[in-house]
Structure 1
Amino acid sequence: MGDDFYALEEKDGIRCTWKNWPNSKTIATRNVIPIVVLYTPRKSIERLTLVEYEPVFCSKCRCALNPFTSVDYISKAWLCSICLNRNIFPQVYKNYISETNLPSELTPQCSTMEYILPHQVSSPPIFMLVVDTCCSKPELESLKLSLLQVLNTLPSDVLVGLISIGKNALVYNLGWMEGTRSFSFKGDKRYNTQEVKDRLGILNARGPIPDEKRVVVPLGDCEFAITIAIQELKRDPWPVAAGTRALRCTGTALSLAINSLEILHPNQGSRILVFSGGACTMGPGTIVSPDLDEPIRTYFDIKNDTAKYVKTAKQFYDELASQAGNNGHVIDIFSCSIDQIGLMEMRALSEKTGGYIVFSDSFETDVFKKSLQSMFNREETGALKMGFNANIQVFCSPDLKLSAVLGPGNSLSKRPPENNSDPNKRTYLASIDFNTTLAYYWDLAGNELERGRKYEVIQFQTNYQHSSGRLRMRVTTVKFPVADPHVMSHFISGFDQETSAVAVARWAVHKSEVEPTKEVIAWIDRTLVRLIKMFAVYQANAIHTFQLCREFSLFPQFMFYLRRSQLLQTFNVSPDESAYYQTIMQRENVINSLLMIQPALLSYSFDSPQAQPVLLDIASLKSDVILLLDTFFTVLIWHGETIASWKKQGYQEKEEYENFKTLLELPVEDALSIVQDRFPVPRFIETEHGKGHERVLKAKVNPSGGVESGNYFSEAVSLKVFTDSLVQYVIKP
């Protein structure tokens, strides 16, 4: 993998499937893998230029001034790199600009820079807590403790609100300082905006109501009130009969939260944090009935159209997601239950707003507790690591066409202007963080004679609300050279197989939402065969002549692991689990996404003082090694049979075996480092040869055959069989 791929990512937050672009749609189709740009709009860049003034825009297409702009220093004018329109510099630039005195925007190192927009100050962010009180008493107590810990870390100027979920939904009046007061709403009813206004008394004909009736209040003004309200939360008092589920009105509570924020703070950075310990069993958004004899839907039920709540619930949550997203409000879901809560139906709440999903068995697990804490981590400046109410506007060369955007948020395309640069194509996100990554799929228009450009230019303009309250714009401009279609080496050297694997995986996940898994896997196989057939060197029907260059050498194994990954396979995976894996996949950067496709496996042994990457193969499970498996969602440490035996005998506690103690500690330190730096926090498992959790490791490795510590039997196809079959298909005339 060329270093320039990583350099572009570090400098601009950009990865692309091809470094050198085709010069026509025909060539682009021939290359099989489409042109896909993966962009991380808030990537942490070491030397990011931060200025406090407005960008200079093209008067025709609104592209911002950038290093690829042509400048006429005599007439003080610049030529737009997108639409080639001639623009005159503002007077403040005319006074000093010269070939030796350039503004930041025109320097090569500032292809990405961020503007703090002056005279545009927004309000502090809002956090609305929606808390499930139908879970058990220990679960609720653990949840309450976590919430209070988070509140203690928040800045005093943020606004907060509280809603509880039970048979009824309670909206707490945090502006009432003389005790705990709340408004009760029936859980089996959906309330419209006007009804919420009337019930809460938020607004009336004479304007805002007195302060004591506010439901969203600055934390500094209500810290005591919200602390007492959370401490006094009790398990929902409504009795639960034997053989029934708790009555839980999650849909109604969510609707109240969204409507309240829409009335009080439209288009202001807000997060609705939903803490759910079970499925919605009543009212709008019902996932399953209260009757325990009726199990929650499975893939079999969905396939046979016998899951009676799925369509109406999905439609309801889709509508809520659109409503929240249109107001710049993000919805985070903390699903903490052994059983499913309905993430499959609710996934749009996260996908359309850029919200998080945290998936765990309990509110008492480290996965939940540490994820909630790390969600509110701070930057070096003390600001929260969150971007609110964002929209990304895309500008491109006239002969480029944006065909699709995959990732969190809502896409809105207006009619493109005559110059075809389509500056009205936007992606709206209610939230972006340092890892939020969107995949832009491009088409080429016209033929070679019509396209005379030597490079293509794309500019991303990301407007968002910083957690400090200030509005910012990050501008990233990149250009890609157009390759000579007759020189195949130009395309080969510019192929980024890691990004291409992620681009294929995202599209496969997108297809799997409406197509059967078998058809999606067949599409992956066809894509792989066509690509290798195009770029491999071979003679028809002669296996020994087959050669695949290093730029493509890893791509087949990426596809092998993608086909059998939990992103696509549904065997022994619930609909909620699949929704969780797929939603995370569609928002993460290239490196994290690759871990979901092909997990990383590290080996620790006495042969090397450092961890060594090893093949994700059953043959790596040796008796005298320790393995560290990272699947992004799970971090697992496995002890071989000999290592486990020595540990049980206590060799690590003896001075003469200090090196063994060190060997045991190294993978733990590395695992804890991974857990600490990742969000959502992965599940951490320690196991050994022959123990139950060993199945997690064996489910991920390539089933190549027997292992040193025992036989391993699997009906799954091995990587060698897969690649041999691939070559057979490719060399067919």
Structure 2
Amino acid sequence: MSEFLELEARDGVRMTWNVIPGTKQDAASCVVPVSAIYTPLNPNPAIPVLPYAPLRCRICRSILNPFSVADFGSKMWLCPFCFQRNHFPQQYSAISQSNLPTELYPECCTVEYMATAETGPVSPPVFLFVVVTCMIEEEIGYLKSALAQAVELLPDQSLVGFITFGTYVQVHELGFGLLPKSHVFKGTKEIKKDQILEQMGFLTGKTKPTTGGRIMAFIGGPSTEGPGSIISKPLSDPIRSHKDLDKGSAPLYNKAVKFYEEIGNQLVHQGHVLDLFACALDQVGVAEMKVAVERTGGIVVLAESFGHSVFKDSLRRIFQSSDSDLGGLSFKSGYQVRNDDIRGRVGVALIEEKLVQHRLRWFGHIQCRPPEMRVHSGRLKCADNVKRGRGRPNLTREESAKRDLRDWNITKELGMDRVAYLRSTAPRMSKFKASLDLVLPWRSYQHHDGQMRLRSTTISRRWVAGSGSVQELITGFDQEAAAAVMARLVSFKMEAEVDFDPVRWLDRALISLCSKFGDYQKEAPSSFSLSPRLSIFPQFIFNLRRSQFIQVFNNSPDETAYFRMMLNRENVANAVVKIQPSLISYSFQSGPEPVLLDVSAIAGDRILLLDSYFTVVIFHGITIAQWRKAGYQNQEGHEMFAQLLQAPQEEADSIIKERFPVPRLVVCDQYGSQARFLLAKLNPSVTYDSDSPPPPGGDMIFTDDASFQVFMEHLQRLAVQ
């Protein structure tokens, strides 16, 4: 899959099918939806930044791209989307085959524009810290220390606000050093927005309505007052669990979700992001606040304490990364997709819809043909003639562009249904030799230095149809992207559909896929085989069935909401690590090497390094642990053992250094209590009822779950029927 990785590194795009099925029947039998996973702010320093405005088609407003056809003689270019011929402006008068503008180079599928009229004026970034004070003194001390470090790392031109809340809400004015001043509001009293604006003097012109802002909320406990409360005040009342939510016995849940949904709508309307830092041993309401965080594209960090490295290092990394043009925060951003048949999206986004001149506009500017369009606003099933959206209709392009907020490295999934488009435009598509051109976001965002920028990505994929297309579809299958899409899709269905059985749904999808693309003789399971392009996909599905995205047992609603939010916002590589963790072995016999995610990988003289994204585990075999406790690594003549202990620690440090949020590091020994962090992720090929015991120094897993070998036997038997 090296070619897919190269495309992702360059443009931030991975597609499940890089050869598109051209008929409705072919698309349906492929099981895995035709989808594109796009990272809008893909950190690629090679992306050119152009100091002028983009050149757009005068009909569909698509941006000049490498797939446009240029006529150097007449100084005109052909739009690959609406086939409109457009004149090059005067500044392109010197264009020729040997003197191409940057946008037409084949390797420049992604470009960025700055200092343009349509991106808007330079504005300073705004940070509003909202801090809970109902915590023990030790936790407040940890939080004060972390915030002091964060403020020191803010860009110099930043505007900073500070709010604390407990029983009362205090809005502090930071311009008074010796004589602190704050506005105080009673937490139990409902106050209208206009009252707040008038009391604080915002109506006199002290606010910046067009400036992007980030509201960073630091929560150390559950809300017990007001419409956003998730639990009553008596300590005897238990906090809601997954079972309570399933049975509908959590009376405050729906009310709180509706409250935070309204908050999210207001934030989007104002152009602000809500970032959530939830640090407590118990739940704080992440499941309820999820809608507001996702709707604004905010950051979420979940930790046990404000003194934990997961919180402290993650907060520090946010502002340290703002030194980079592509790795830092962005503000007041939205994206616009130009394509003739976008089916839907599973991820974090807010859709605005507007029918103007027979074109449907999302996020202010997405052109489509309404009779052929299926509109989905966060839902996968919707009648063809139903339009769903959030917020106010009939917005101008400038108003709509302000409504969708994004931050760094949020990844979107766009699902495409090509059928109606290909049928209706086949004669015109013939001149492009059956290719698919898709402009993925023209994405405007406010850089941390205040400069508005616009990024455009254009990709092209060919499509095939007919009986001989199966092998071509296989060559274009990206099994890692497919695993990420299926994980997002099943997680969404678990939240949106009543009585949905995720394991059964995944099993049926995998059986159908293997029946379609497998090589076998009917009713002969032993003859079954899969192409290398699909051979790892069943293993991804096996681990997805056992992952925290599907299995909610032993996880709180807050943890489940956090895991799914992080799945929706990460790129393919990170999503795959969450679904199927990586396992590396360290031993005297060989250097570091990947091993199967199986209990058979455990040995007494081996160190294992597990990366499951949220947790990094260094696992010492029993013999290694005994030598370490005896202090052999500190004795002369045992330098090799000291190096063996140090190698996985260095690799773990490098993983932690590159990841956000910072993962939890667990160092454990075989048969120790924390060994469960590793054992829970391993394939149970050896259990307590296995026919043969584990080898000396090995281990077993006490579970009744089926192993991957049994899973594959059932899959082969059902696929060939």
TM-score > 0.5, shorter chain as reference = yes
**Which of 78, 82, 107 is 2:105 aligned to?**
107
For residue 18 of structure 2, what is the aligned residue in structure 1? 19
The 10-residue stretch of structure 1 (378-387 or 273-282) with the greater mean CA deviation from structure 2:
378-387
**Which of 350, 358, 363 is 1:410 aligned to?**
350
* In structure 1, distance between residues paired with 2:189 and 2:461: 54
For residue 316 of structure 2, what is the aligned residue in structure 1? 373
For residue 187 of structure 2, what is the aligned residue in structure 1? 187
**Which of 581, 602, 605 is 1:624 aligned to?**
605
**Which of 316, 324, 337 is 1:394 aligned to?**
337
**C-alpha spacing 1:127/1:448, structure 2 compared with 1 (3 Å):** closer
Q: Deviations over 1:574-622 (max 9, x none)?
A: 000000000000000001101111111111111223x211111111111
Q: Is the 8 A contact 1:404 1:442 kept in 2?
A: yes
For residue 424 of structure 1, what is the aligned residue in structure 2? 366
Q: Deviations over 1:299-326 (max 9, x none)?
A: 1111221111001001001110111122
**Aligned-residue offset at 1:688:** 0.4
**C-alpha spacing 1:666/1:516, structure 2 compared with 1 (3 Å):** farther
Q: Is the 8 A contact 2:668 2:675 kept in 1?
A: yes
Query: TM-score if structure 1 supplies the norm length?
Result: 0.88
* In structure 2, distance between residues paired with 1:24 and 1:419: 24
* In structure 1, distance between residues paired with 2:538 and 2:326: 43
For residue 473 of structure 1, what is the aligned residue in structure 2? 454
- Superposed, 1:270-285 pairs within 5 Å as 270-285=213-228
**Aligned-residue offset at 1:24:** 2.0
* In structure 2, distance between residues paired with 1:125 and 1:517: 45
Q: Is the 8 A contact 2:493 2:500 kept in 1?
A: no
* In structure 1, distance between residues paired with 2:586 and 2:356: 56
2:711 equivalent to 1:713: no
* In structure 2, distance between residues paired with 1:587 and 1:339: 24
**C-alpha spacing 1:686/1:533, structure 2 compared with 1 (3 Å):** same
Q: Is the 8 A contact 2:603 2:621 kept in 1?
A: yes
**C-alpha spacing 1:308/1:487, structure 2 compared with 1 (3 Å):** closer
For residue 718 of structure 2, what is the aligned residue in structure 1? 729
For residue 394 of structure 2, what is the aligned residue in structure 1? none
**Aligned-residue offset at 1:123:** 1.3
**C-alpha spacing 1:367/1:412, structure 2 compared with 1 (3 Å):** same
* In structure 1, distance between residues paired with 2:700 and 2:505: 34
For residue 303 of structure 2, what is the aligned residue in structure 1? 360
Q: Is the 8 A contact 2:42 2:326 kept in 1?
A: no
Q: Deviations over 1:348-370 (max 9, x none)?
A: 12111111111111011101100
Query: TM-score if structure 2 supplies the norm length?
Result: 0.90
* In structure 1, distance between residues paired with 2:405 and 2:361: 25
**Aligned-residue offset at 1:84:** 0.5
* In structure 1, distance between residues paired with 2:59 and 2:156: 44
Q: Is the 8 A contact 1:383 1:467 kept in 2?
A: no
**Which of 490, 495, 517 is 1:513 aligned to?**
495
Q: Is the 8 A contact 2:494 2:502 kept in 1?
A: yes
Q: Is the 8 A contact 2:334 2:406 kept in 1?
A: no
Structure 1: runs of 5 or more not aligned = 210-263
The 10-residue stretch of structure 1 (363-372 or 711-720) with the greater mean CA deviation from structure 2:
711-720
Structure 2: runs of 5 or more not aligned = 368-399, 688-693
2:692 equivalent to 1:693: no
Secondary structure of 1:585's partner? helix
**Aligned-residue offset at 1:525:** 1.2
Q: Is the 8 A contact 2:65 2:109 kept in 1?
A: yes
Q: Is the 8 A contact 1:395 1:421 kept in 2?
A: no
- Superposed, 1:75-94 pairs within 5 Å as 75-93=74-92
* In structure 2, distance between residues paired with 1:19 and 1:75: 35
For residue 590 of structure 2, what is the aligned residue in structure 1? 608
Secondary structure of 1:716's partner? coil
**Aligned-residue offset at 1:416:** 7.3
- Superposed, 1:536-575 pairs within 5 Å as 536-575=518-557
Q: Deviations over 1:393-448 (max 9, x none)?
A: 1112x4xx211112223122333765789852799642321x22100011113386
AA aligned opposite 2:458: T
For residue 55 of structure 2, what is the aligned residue in structure 1? 56
* In structure 1, distance between residues paired with 2:68 and 2:235: 66
For residue 160 of structure 1, what is the aligned residue in structure 2? 160
Q: Is the 8 A contact 2:16 2:35 kept in 1?
A: yes
AA aligned opposite 1:46: P
For residue 5 of structure 2, what is the aligned residue in structure 1? 6
* In structure 1, distance between residues paired with 2:268 and 2:463: 37
For residue 229 of structure 1, what is the aligned residue in structure 2? none
Q: Is the 8 A contact 2:43 2:327 kept in 1?
A: no
* In structure 1, distance between residues paired with 2:571 and 2:326: 23
For residue 567 of structure 2, what is the aligned residue in structure 1? 585
**Aligned-residue offset at 1:723:** 1.1
Secondary structure of 1:533's partner? helix
* In structure 2, distance between residues paired with 1:333 and 1:46: 29
Q: Deviations over 1:426-479 (max 9, x none)?
A: 99642321x221000111133866535310101121111111111101111110
* In structure 1, distance between residues paired with 2:101 and 2:328: 29
* In structure 1, distance between residues paired with 2:455 and 2:175: 37
Q: Is the 8 A contact 1:336 1:359 kept in 2?
A: yes
The 10-residue stretch of structure 1 (632-641 or 303-312) with the greater mean CA deviation from structure 2:
303-312
Q: Is the 8 A contact 2:600 2:699 kept in 1?
A: no
* In structure 1, distance between residues paired with 2:237 and 2:128: 33
Q: Is the 8 A contact 1:270 1:329 kept in 2?
A: yes
AA aligned opposite 1:614: V
Q: Deviations over 1:477-527 (max 9, x none)?
A: 110012243232111111000000101111111111123676122211111
Q: Is the 8 A contact 1:117 1:473 kept in 2?
A: no
* In structure 2, distance between residues paired with 1:170 and 1:671: 42
The 10-residue stretch of structure 1 (74-83 or 20-29) with the greater mean CA deviation from structure 2:
20-29
For residue 436 of structure 2, what is the aligned residue in structure 1? 456
- Superposed, 1:641-656 pairs within 5 Å as 641-656=622-637
* In structure 2, distance between residues paired with 1:317 and 1:550: 46
* In structure 1, distance between residues paired with 2:475 and 2:190: 57
Aligned length: 668
* In structure 2, distance between residues paired with 1:388 and 1:394: 19
AA aligned opposite 1:180: P
**C-alpha spacing 1:72/1:710, structure 2 compared with 1 (3 Å):** closer
Q: Is the 8 A contact 1:83 1:421 kept in 2?
A: no
**Aligned-residue offset at 1:118:** 3.1
**Aligned-residue offset at 1:382:** 7.4
* In structure 2, distance between residues paired with 1:552 and 1:421: 37
For residue 45 of structure 1, what is the aligned residue in structure 2? 44
Q: Is the 8 A contact 1:383 1:468 kept in 2?
A: no
**C-alpha spacing 1:641/1:607, structure 2 compared with 1 (3 Å):** same
2:573 equivalent to 1:633: no
AA aligned opposite 2:152: N
For residue 304 of structure 1, what is the aligned residue in structure 2? 247
Q: Is the 8 A contact 2:437 2:459 kept in 1?
A: yes
- Superposed, 1:239-250 pairs within 5 Å as none
The 10-residue stretch of structure 1 (143-152 or 540-549) with the greater mean CA deviation from structure 2:
540-549
* In structure 1, distance between residues paired with 2:711 and 2:31: 20
The 10-residue stretch of structure 1 (380-389 or 435-444) with the greater mean CA deviation from structure 2:
380-389
* In structure 2, distance between residues paired with 1:416 and 1:27: 33
Q: Is the 8 A contact 2:22 2:419 kept in 1?
A: no
AA aligned opposite 1:513: E
* In structure 2, distance between residues paired with 1:447 and 1:142: 57
Q: Is the 8 A contact 1:83 1:419 kept in 2?
A: no
For residue 215 of structure 1, what is the aligned residue in structure 2? none
Identity of aligned residues (%): 38
Q: Deviations over 1:237-269 (max 9, x none)?
A: xxxxxxxxxxxxxxxxxxxxxxxxxxx233421
- Superposed, 1:282-293 pairs within 5 Å as 282-293=225-236
**C-alpha spacing 1:461/1:271, structure 2 compared with 1 (3 Å):** same
Secondary structure of 2:458's partner? strand
* In structure 1, distance between residues paired with 2:353 and 2:644: 56
The 10-residue stretch of structure 1 (157-166 or 418-427) with the greater mean CA deviation from structure 2:
418-427
Q: Is the 8 A contact 1:408 1:429 kept in 2?
A: no
The 10-residue stretch of structure 1 (707-716 or 29-38) with the greater mean CA deviation from structure 2:
707-716
Secondary structure of 1:432's partner? coil
